[in-house]
Amino acid sequence: MSRQPAVSGRILIVDDDERQRTDMAAMLADCDFDMQVAADGQEALERLAAFNADVIVSDLVMPRMDGFELLRHLKEHGDLTPAIALTAFGSMEKALSVVHDLKAFWFLEKPVEPRAFKTLLDRAIRYKRSLQKNDELKRELSLHGVLGDMVGTSPAMQQIFTQIRQVAPTSAPVLICGESGTGKELVAREIHKCSPRSDGPFVAINAAALPETLIESELFGHEKGAFTGAMERSAGCFEQAHGGTLFLDEIGEMPSSTQPKLLRVLEDLRVRRLGGKHEIAVDARVLAATSQDLATHLREELYYRLSVFQIVVPPLREHKEDIPPIADIMLQNLNKKHGTRVAGVDTEVLDLLQHHDWPGNVRELRNLLERAAIIAGEGLVGLKDLSSPVFGVNPAAYTRPSPAYESPVLLRPGQPLTKIEEAYIKLTLEHVRGNRKLAAEMLGISLRTLQNRIAELREEENAISPGS
């Protein structure tokens, strides 16, 4: 079958046995690799000072600095260059310890089988490329594309940033519209933070989360005994937000009987507590949020009063180019929250994120990344770390992974290449809920090739199961 085009890359081979070094170099002679060699860990570190390797292939037992020490040194210095450890035949325990404890990319048993070696190098180089892409992104983002906690380099998000900067210094009310999870509350918080009121309070009240009977007392406050259960005098949100910002979330859910009272407060900048005799002057800047369809539930006068300035936050599917930078910042924050050390997402995951429609918008992305970051723990988030039902993968499957699909575990010398292909094809199909077109795109092969390969696999399965 046709495969993804081979990648070019820089490889450092570390082995004290000169014969091994030349054999490996000869094996890779037909590949587009820039290769350097070193005779032990010490020499490898000296080479790495000037040679920006994509992959390090290292023997374990060597004089001076051995492979274990080299890997430990790289790990301790935060060097994420993937390293492939060469292990003696049969030393499975050592092999697993370099992968698990020293974070080697993978191991290969000697003698090295050329096709498995090349497949593994190819994956390792692609992994390194993803890491580099993440680094570039971080640099780019540090220059522009961030407003407080909001991220976005797309024209749509840049326009939102401009609107926030324009309206923040004024006291005008703002109506923020958008689907659920698009970042409406975040916009409100940024307006507050960029405003001259940033030292004052930011008070949020959600009209959809409060019973109708309580909304008015929450908004305007009440005097002791104003209604059954009003044991103490209480200041409402308007008073609490004095000198700051009041955020009326889900304003479309505001009972229509309350809307005229709210409008009056907005006009007069005075509130009267329930059961109160006097009006109290309040200086709160009002921001309101709603989904666009619920904006029609607002009485006309209130709608016009609130929408002096309107910001429409686009759904994530309309600014998918922001997914990589948003994911990047979110992972940095999630690392802090969970003590993980995730560096980013790999290219396959990125591809999947770009193909998804995101009905739950940025919140859905955040939830997905949070689960994935916890599962991955460190390095790059890969397909195996995605446990979202969105992608048709049952989360339970990840607590008890089927052994055949434990990712590149099958990449071991002695495994026929067809078996590795088979596992990847199945894994990919599983992740895209059987969408062959998408799977073919991800595997870098044509749809026809994928279909032929699936048919071949079915034939093979039938051939080995006599009952069928």
| Binding region for ligand ATP (CB under 6 A) out of 181-189, 255-263, 380-388, 428-436 | 181-189
How many of the chain's residues bind ligand ATP (CB under 6 A)? 16
Query: Is the peptide bond between 111 and the residue preceding it cis, with omega within 30 degrees of 0?
Result: yes
Q: Which is nearer to Mg ion, 209 or 455 (CB)?
A: 209
Strand partners, 276: none
Q: Other C-beta atoms within 10 Å of 240: how many? A: 17
Q: Name the pairing type of β-strands 309-312 and 202-206.
A: unpaired
Nearest residue to 109 (alpha-carbon basis) of 119, 99, 117:
117
Strand partners, 14: 38, 58
Please, which of residues 91-150 interact with ligand ATP by CB under 6 A?
A: 149-150
Q: Which is nearer to Mg ion, 185 or 441 (CB)?
A: 185
| Binding region for Mg ion (CB under 5 A) out of 81-89, 159-167, 183-191, 389-397 | 183-191
* Pairwise CA distance, residues 148 & 161, whole Å: 10
Torsion of CA 66, 71, 75, 80, to 10 degrees: 140
Tokens 């797309």 locate to 154
| Binding region for ligand ATP (CB under 6 A) out of 93-101, 118-126, 174-182, 432-440 | 174-182
182 binds ligand ATP (CB under 6 A): yes
Please, which of residues 191-230 interact with ligand ATP by CB under 6 A?
A: none
Instruction: Decide: 54 and 9 in contact? Cβ < 8 Å.
Output: yes
Q: Which of 185, 223, 370, 441 binds Mg ion (CB under 5 A)?
A: 185
Please, which of residues 320-359 interact with ligand ATP by CB under 6 A?
A: 326
321 binds Mg ion (CB under 5 A): no
Instruction: Decide: 55 and 121 in contact? Cβ < 8 Å.
Output: yes
> Would you report the helix, strand and coil content of the chain in percent, each value rounded to 5?
50, 15, 35
185 binds ligand ATP (CB under 6 A): yes
Q: Which of 125, 287, 362, 368 binds ligand ATP (CB under 6 A)?
A: 362
Please, which of residues 363-402 interact with ligand ATP by CB under 6 A?
A: 363, 366
Burial of residue 131 (CB within 10 Å: 0-12, 13-18, 19+) is: middle
Per-residue contact string for residues 283-322; x = within reach of ligand ATP by CB under 6 A: ----------------------------------------
Residue ranges in contact with Mg ion by CB under 5 A: 185
Residue ranges in contact with ligand ATP by CB under 6 A: 149-152, 178, 180-186, 326, 362-363, 366
